[in-house]
Amino acid sequence: MVEDTGKRTETSSRRKFILAGGAVGIAGLAGCSGGSGGGNEAGAGLESSSEDGSDGSDGGDGGSGDPMLADASEFNPAEPNWEENNYLMTAIAENDYFQGSQTDLENMRNQDVDEIAHGEPPRDLPDDESEWVDPDPLIFVDKPGESGQAQYQETIQPLLDRLEETTGRTVEWQPVDSNAATVEAFRAGRGHLGDISTGTSAFGVNLGGIVPFAVPISPSGQFGYRLLAITRDDEHDIQSVNDFARDDVTVTHSEPASNSGNQAPSALFDQFFDVTAGEDYEREFSGGHDQTARGIAVGDYDAGPICSTCVDDLIGSTEDIDYDDFKVVWASNPFPPGPMVHRYDLHPDIVEGIKEATIGTDWTDTEYAENTGEAEYVEIDYKNVFNDILIIQRYNGVEYESGNL
């Protein structure tokens, strides 16, 4: 990871680096690519808003003390207008704003990308057939579950059964407790296929020999997730990412390699709000998105970035927190979800079977789709679909070493 030096001159030079190179682009990821009147630069209008009382002075929303808090009925998914509005997370849930659309996916797939933006490309199948791996059983490595006990083997069992049919191999499910453990399983050859988190994918490619080959689409046709910048519902003085830089605000990220929990906010907050994690605020790590949400809810932290679908899953699986417990002060455009992957050296016949069970199988209206939120898998080119993730990691100076996970 890039070292926090505390020197403004170094971060200023990074801010001059315009992150481009795709149909989505970093400006689009900033959640400001909407229609007319929405502003074309993230953070536009934030300074003037603070001059008008966004520091928590009186006014706004029926005496709530938050002049920027808008009613859920005013939320426009096409143009949220974050520079002027905050919303309770209820508005995000009611408008299905936790994910993007298949159009967002197609934009990612159709980017004109000549080469990998950061790190190495996925490794090719060895030319020497003696180096091909033909294991039995196949070990399916599942990424860490953000909702703890909410993720069980029976949830994924229908896919494992289908994989056994199409590969002719026994398939064993292997849960892990960290992203580092996921990458290590593949690196050591103890994992052969599975899924991996978005931010960890490049580590898996560079360290673990994985090949990302597909991403899921939800039963409603939605795709991916967003980075949300959140605080508690009663934090009336926190109305934008700019407020994260105040001395009296405690901000938490989730884990170093997490995209929405650390990598994306480290780049996007810096690029578009002039707020640098580790310099303008002390960056604590909660240990995961669940811990971030719970920590903010109970007051251990005041604010932080979080994965939209992770907090949605958490709220859906617990009774002690609700959407109205959180306020959203900003959201990005969609990111790709964690991909399905296989080791680069798996026998081609096995890879063909894996793709038949995923890309070649329609899971719509099945128990698997209901339990996992994954109704179909769409083939991807890592270079294109993960281009913006790699640009963010390049911006942050990420080095693909196991100690940085």
Domain ranges of the chain: 1-405
116-160 residue pLDDT tens: 999 999 999 999 999 999 999 999 998 876 444 445 678 899 999
Q: First vs last Cα of the chain: how many Å apart?
A: 9
- Residue 251 pLDDT > 70, yes or no? yes
Report how far apart, in Å, the C-alpha atoms of 334 and of each of 40, 227, 240, 353, 392 are. Answer: 17, 8, 19, 30, 14
Taking residues 321-334, what's their average pLDDT?
A: 96
Q: Do residues 204 and 183 make contact, with C-beta atoms less than 8 angstroms apart?
A: yes
pLDDT the model gives residue 3: 33
Report how far apart, in Å, the C-alpha atoms of 62 and of each of 80, 244, 267 are. Answer: 20, 25, 35
pLDDT over 90, % of the chain: 75
pLDDT the model gives residue 210: 98
pLDDT the model gives residue 154: 82
pLDDT the model gives residue 153: 76
pLDDT the model gives residue 35: 33
pLDDT the model gives residue 275: 97
- This prediction has a pTM of 0.81
Looking only at the bridges linking them, the beta strands covering 210-217 and 227-232 are unpaired
Give me 263's structure tokens.
């990598």
**Which is more confident, 139 or 48?**
139
Q: What is the mean pLDDT of the chain?
A: 85
- Residue 39 pLDDT > 90, yes or no? no
pLDDT the model gives residue 66: 86
Q: Do residues 99 and 222 make contact, with C-beta atoms less than 8 angstroms apart?
A: yes
Confidence of residue 65 (pLDDT cuts 50, 70, 90): confident
Nearest Cα to 93, choosing from 69, 68, 72, 116?
Answer: 72
Report how far apart, in Å, the C-alpha atoms of 24 and of each of 150, 197, 276, 336, 380 are. Answer: 33, 20, 23, 11, 16
Taking residues 40-58, what's their average pLDDT?
A: 32
343-352 residue pLDDT tens: 999 999 999 9
Confidence of residue 5 (pLDDT cuts 50, 70, 90): very low
* CATH topology assigned to domain 1-405: D-Maltodextrin-Binding Protein; domain 2 (3.40.190)
